[in-house]
C-alpha cells in the first residue's frame, strides 16, 4: 500500500513539473489583475471630443453631409424626387473632388519642396 501511495505522489509531482504550473498560475494572475483593475482603459474626456468636433467643423466648410444622421436627413428630404437628389449628389461630388484636389496639390507642393531641399543639400556636399 505504501508503494502505491509513493508511486502516485511521484507521478503527480512529475506531472506538475512537466506542466510548468507556475507559468500558468502567473499568466492567470496577471490576466485577473488586468481585467479587474481596468488598467488599460483611457480616461474619458468629453471636452476633448467636443474640441475635435469643433475643429473638424471649422476646417471643413463644405456644404456636404458629414454624419450618418445628416445623410439620412438629406435622403428623407429628397425621397421621391430623383432630379433634386441627382442635383445634390452632383453638387456634393464636385465639392468633394475640389477638396480632394486641393489636398493633392498641397501634398505635391510639399513633396516638391522637400525634393528641392534635398537636391540643394546634395549639391552643397
Residue 10 binned pLDDT confidence (cut-offs 50, 70, 90):
confident
Rounded mean pLDDT, 84-101 = 82
Residues 6+ apart with CB under 8 A from 100: none
Report the predicted TM-score, pTM, of the whole model to 2 decimal places: 0.38
The cell for 116 is 528641392
Cα 110 versus chain centre, distance = 26
Residue 124 binned pLDDT confidence (cut-offs 50, 70, 90):
low
Does the pLDDT value for residue 39 go beyond 60? no
Least confident stretch, 9-13, 88-92, 107-111: 107-111
- Check if the beta carbon of residue 40 is closer than 8 Å to that of residue 34: yes
Distance CA 10, CA 40 (A): 42
H-only helix segments in 2-81: 2-19, 21-37, 46-59, 68-77
Amino acid at each position: 500500500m505504501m508503494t502505491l501511495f509513493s508511486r502516485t505522489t511521484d507521478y503527480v509531482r512529475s506531472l506538475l513539473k512537466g506542466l510548468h504550473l507556475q507559468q500558468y498560475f502567473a499568466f492567470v494572475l496577471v490576466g485577473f489583475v488586468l481585467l479587474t483593475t481596468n488598467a488599460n482603459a483611457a480616461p474619458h474626456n468629453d471636452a476633448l471630443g467636443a474640441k475635435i468636433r469643433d475643429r473638424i467643423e471649422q476646417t471643413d466648410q463644405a456644404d456636404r453631409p458629414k454624419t450618418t444622421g445628416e445623410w439620412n436627413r438629406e435622403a428623407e428630404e429628397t425621397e421621391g424626387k430623383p432630379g433634386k437628389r441627382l442635383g445634390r449628389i452632383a453638387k456634393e461630388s464636385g465639392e468633394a473632388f475640389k477638396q480632394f484636389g486641393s489636398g493633392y496639390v498641397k501634398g505635391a507642393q510639399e513633396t516638391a519642396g522637400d525634393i528641392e531641399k534635398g537636391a540643394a543639400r546634395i549639391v552643397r556636399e
